[in-house]
């Protein structure tokens, strides 16, 4: 370890702080790096990047390690933010954290660090790597492997994820024992790059929307929405229609600017036993088609047994043992074999 240099992505949070501390303890030469991905303030919300940068720097000083800032703001805007906005405009619900890991942390950051003299990189993700494979984190409540399924085998071979071996309370405990400046800092909430601002408030800064009809199964107009872009499959809150049974979003038409709803919790559009994914990425090569695996269709959703089939269109069809609620186009379906992450794709 003594002659291995690791660049640790330090976000100013407790997880990446402990990551840096553990690797230093293990004998690596550790360099802390803050990635400046987003700095724009939004109306009513101040971007916390300066505070996060200072917190990361404080921890680096405490640990006695060198500290750098990498500015990826331009690339981040193109690769993550523009992608996210385009997906919402198309009526889909993307996962910007997945794209951030694919394009920024495990591509831009990795390449910049290696060019700078690093042998490896490390992040504060709750997941594990072994021989270029991605494994789930020990803490089932915090496991973040879902967000990492698009990382390549080559990148994983050069990545360390030390806190994936621990449960979150233990990580907090270690931070307190070490007296780290971030030991009591709350986990960040909201979109990965804009702190506490919600997705709706964020989108309103970049897209113009028009009100339109909310329509039930019979074609009856029940009310008015603020813009179809803001609604996602399975959504219940924020519709402001009815007064009796709650309504759920079951679809939308972006061209007509219509949102479709139902009060029927068993509606066929809410529960599906089969889904199709495109833009498929397998970490260590394609798995066996027809064999039973498990799939997670959103972060923290329960795993469901499934079988995979390739289609003539080059997509992958995923047959589910049990129906899954509110499958949403644009989200990721991630395939697991026990605690091994095989890969996945984007729900069509």
Looking at the structure, do residues 166 and 70 belong to the same domain, yes or no? yes
For residue 75, the SS3 value is: helix
Predicted pLDDT at 2: 62
Looking at the structure, do residues 292 and 254 belong to the same domain, yes or no? no
Question: Which of 130, 161, 178 delimits the end of a domain?
Answer: 178
The CB density around residue 263, as the number of other CB atoms within 10 Å, is 14
**Window from 200-204, 309-313, 331-335 with minimum mean pLDDT:** 200-204
Residue 163, in any domain of the structure: yes
Looking at the structure, do residues 112 and 242 belong to the same domain, yes or no? no
Question: Which of 223, 244, 262 delimits the end of a domain?
Answer: 262
Banded pLDDT at 193 (limits 50, 70, 90): low
> In the predicted model, what is the mean pLDDT of residues 327-340?
97
Structure tokens at 238: 């924020």
The CB density around residue 154, as the number of other CB atoms within 10 Å, is 11
Residue 111, in any domain of the structure: yes
Total number of domains in the chain: 3
Q: Percent of the chain at pLDDT above 90? A: 90
Banded pLDDT at 47 (limits 50, 70, 90): confident
Structural domain including 324 reads 271-347
Residue 185 · residue 124 · CB < 8 Å: no
Task: Give the CATH number for residue 243.
Answer: 2.30.30.280
Looking at the structure, do residues 142 and 119 belong to the same domain, yes or no? yes
Looking at the structure, do residues 286 and 305 belong to the same domain, yes or no? yes
Q: Quote the CA–CA distance of 154 and 265 in Å, as a whole number.
A: 44
- This prediction has a pTM of 0.95
Residue 42, in any domain of the structure: yes
> In the predicted model, what is the mean pLDDT of residues 22-49?
93
User: What single string gives the DSSP state of each residue in 190-222?
Assistant: SSTTSTT--HHHHHHTT-----EEEE-TTS-EE
Looking at the structure, do residues 57 and 119 belong to the same domain, yes or no? yes
Residue 49, in any domain of the structure: yes
Residue 183, in any domain of the structure: no
Nearest to 158 by CA among 93, 87, 110: 110
φ/ψ of 107, rounded to 5, equals -135, -70
Looking at the structure, do residues 240 and 289 belong to the same domain, yes or no? no
> In the predicted model, what is the mean pLDDT of residues 303-324?
97
Looking at the structure, do residues 13 and 154 belong to the same domain, yes or no? yes
Catalytic residues: 100, 192
Looking at the structure, do residues 25 and 146 belong to the same domain, yes or no? yes
Residue 106, in any domain of the structure: yes
Sign, Cα dihedral of 228, 252, 101, 339: positive
Nearest to 87 by CA among 206, 238, 261: 206
- Does the pLDDT of residue 279 top 70, yes or no? yes
Banded pLDDT at 66 (limits 50, 70, 90): very high
Residue 342, in any domain of the structure: yes
Categorise residue 78: left if φ over 0, alpha if ψ from -120 to 50, beta otherwise.
Answer: alpha
Looking at the structure, do residues 16 and 50 belong to the same domain, yes or no? yes
Looking at the structure, do residues 60 and 159 belong to the same domain, yes or no? yes
Nearest to 202 by CA among 161, 230, 173: 230
């Amino acid at each position: 370890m003594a002659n291995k240099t690791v660049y640790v992505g330090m976000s100013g949070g407790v997880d990446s702080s402990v990551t840096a501390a553990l690797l230093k303890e293990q004998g690596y030469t550790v360099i802390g790096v803050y990635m400046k991905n987003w700095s724009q303030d939004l109306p009513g919300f101040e971007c916390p990047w300066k505070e996060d940068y200072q917190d990361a720097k404080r921890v680096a000083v405490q640990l006695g390690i060198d500290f750098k800032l990498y500015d990826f703001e331009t690339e981040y805007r193109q690769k993550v933010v523009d992608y996210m906005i385009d997906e919402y405009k198309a009526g889909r619900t993307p996962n910007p954290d997945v794209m951030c890991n694919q394009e920024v942390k495990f591509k831009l950051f990795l390449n910049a660090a290696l060019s700078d003299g690093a042998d490896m990189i490390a992040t504060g993700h709750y997941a594990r790597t072994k021989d270029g494979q991605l494994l789930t984190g020990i803490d089932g409540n915090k496991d973040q492997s879902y967000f990492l399924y698009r990382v390549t085998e080559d990148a994983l071979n050069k990545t360390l994820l030390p806190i994936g071996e621990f449960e979150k309370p233990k990580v907090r405990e270690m931070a307190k024992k070490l007296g780290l400046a971030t030991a009591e800092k709350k986990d960040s909430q909201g979109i990965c790059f804009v702190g506490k601002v919600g997705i709706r408030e964020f989108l309103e800064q970049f897209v113009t929307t028009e009100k339109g009809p909310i329509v039930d199964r019979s074609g009856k107009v029940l009310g008015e929405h603020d813009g179809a872009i803001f609604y996602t499959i399975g959504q219940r809150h924020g519709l402001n229609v009815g007064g009796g049974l709650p309504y759920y979003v079951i679809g939308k038409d972006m061209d007509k600017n219509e949102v479709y709803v139902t009060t029927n919790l068993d509606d066929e559009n809410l529960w599906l036993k089969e889904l199709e994914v495109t833009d498929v990425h397998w970490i260590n090569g394609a798995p066996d088609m027809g064999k039973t695996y498990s799939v997670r269709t959103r972060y923290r959703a329960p795993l469901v047994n499934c079988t995979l089939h390739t289609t003539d269109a080059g997509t992958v069809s995923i047959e589910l043992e049990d129906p899954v609620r509110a499958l949403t186009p644009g989200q990721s379906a991630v395939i697991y074999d026990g605690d091994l992450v095989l890969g996945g794709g984007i729900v069509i």
